[in-house]
Structure formats: C-alpha cells, structure tokens
Amino acid sequence: MTDDLISKKELLDLTGISYGQLYRWKRKNLIPEEWFIRKSSYTGQETFFPKQQILLRIDKILNMKDGLSLDELADVFSPTLGEVEMSAQELLERNIVSNISLELLKEAGRERPLYALEQIMMLYVLDKLLISGDITRQEGSLLIDVMSEHYYRFTGKPSELVLIRKMGVPSFMLVTAGTELYFDNGVKVVLRQPMGTFMEELKLKLG
C-alpha cells in the first residue's frame, strides 16, 4: 500500500497556508518530522507529504486553532499517552465507549476497576470498529488481545492497526506506521488505520 504523496507547493496552494505557518507548526510538533519526505525531482530536491494524513491534520489545526493554543494542540496530536484513569461507569457516562465493548472485555477477562489511557484507547478503538461494522465480535476479542499485549511497545511512536482475513480467518496486527506489508494472494487487508487518528479523537473527547 503506497500512500498518495502531495508536494509542498501543492499543499500550500490547496490549503492556503503559508510557508511560515507550515514551519511554525513543524516546530511546535503539530506536524511530525517523518511526514516531511524528501525526494529529488526535476527542479532539485522537493519535499512531499502523505496526502491524506497531512490534509486531515491541517484541516484539524485550522479548525481548532481558534479555541486552543498551539501547545495545547500539540498535546492532542502527540502520540504519547497522558495520565488519565477512569472507571467503566465514567466511560459510559461520557459516551466514550458503549456497553458492547465493555462486555467483550469482560468475556476476555480483562476487566479493571479503573482504566488507564492505554486501555481506554483500546476500548475506544474496539468500540468504533464494532459500531462501524468493520469487525465482528469475534474479531473484537482478537483486537483486545493484540492491543493489551502489545500496544505499550508503541509508546511515543506512531503505529497502525491492520486486520487481514484469509479464507475467513481474521488476524490483527500492530505495526510501525508506514511499514510496507506484502501478503500472498489469498489475504485480504480488511482495514489499516493509523492509531494516531484514534488517539486524537479520544484526546479531544477526554479533554
């Protein structure tokens, strides 16, 4: 899977932001360094960005910068987890997760009196994917497994969630963002989503 790239010039044209703004956001860590992809072109070196991600991010920054300071925005976008603890009751009341995912968690025997951000994140992802119909309940318990066992390894690093199916057998993977993955013909990639997007949404809900 190769992401569409957009050149810096096209990006500025499309979004109407200036070089100054782009560099300021980079300095404030609103745009991660690894999105600046250097490639040689006929005019010399050019900088490209992953199109989907950067457009989404700039749109978010432009929409939110009136309400929040740049530093607060940086917190929302940073891949690191903050200090939060919530009970199942609170999570339900604040509409962050629904009963289905909490029940699944109970079945998997991973219930806790209080959930840290890492687990809230897992519940949130689970909930979103279940409700959107992208995954089944059975796949949901696989997701709980992979996220509770391995998500901590990606602390502070961008990661992606991948779901593949082969002959009806599903399998979840957590991989470093931007990893190239190739499969044999029978494998269908059902879903591949950056965890960062979930984290941003969740942080806004929690914030």
The C-alpha atoms of residue 87 and residue 89 are separated, in whole angstroms, by 5
Task: Tell me: does residue 39 bind other proteins (CB under 8 A).
Answer: no
Question: Coil, strand, or helix at residue 5?
Answer: strand
- Give the residue, chosen from 1, 18, 111, 189, that forms a contact with other proteins under the rule CB under 8 A: 18
CB of 19 to other proteins, least distance (A): 4
Task: Tell me: does residue 165 bind other proteins (CB under 8 A).
Answer: no
Give the single-character DSSP code of 92. Answer: H
Q: Which stretch binds other proteins (CB under 8 A): 22-30, 104-112, 152-160, 196-204?
A: 22-30
Dihedral over alpha carbons 3, 77, 79, 72 (to 10 degrees): 170
CB of 79 to other proteins, least distance (A): 19
Residues 133-162 touching other proteins, rule: CB under 8 A, are: none
Q: Which stretch binds other proteins (CB under 8 A): 13-21, 73-81, 110-118, 128-136?
A: 13-21
**Long-range pairs for 45-49 at CB < 8 Å and ≥24 separation?**
46/7, 46/8, 46/9, 47/7, 47/8, 48/5, 48/6, 48/7, 48/8, 49/5, 49/6, 49/7, 49/8, 49/11
- Give the residue, chosen from 7, 26, 60, 74, that forms a contact with other proteins under the rule CB under 8 A: 26
Note whether 70 and 103 are within 8 A (CB).
no
Q: Which stretch binds other proteins (CB under 8 A): 21-29, 135-143, 163-171, 198-206?
A: 21-29
Task: Tell me: does residue 168 bind other proteins (CB under 8 A).
Answer: no
Task: Tell me: does residue 69 bind other proteins (CB under 8 A).
Answer: no
Task: Tell me: does residue 24 bind other proteins (CB under 8 A).
Answer: yes
- Residue closer to other proteins by CB (options 44, 186) is 44
- How do 37-41 and 44-50 pair as beta strands? antiparallel
Note whether 45 and 52 are within 8 A (CB).
no
Provide the token pair at 135: 């995954």
- Give the residue, chosen from 20, 156, 168, 186, that forms a contact with other proteins under the rule CB under 8 A: 20
Q: Point out which residues bind other proteins (CB under 8 A).
A: 9, 13, 18-20, 22-24, 26-27, 43-45
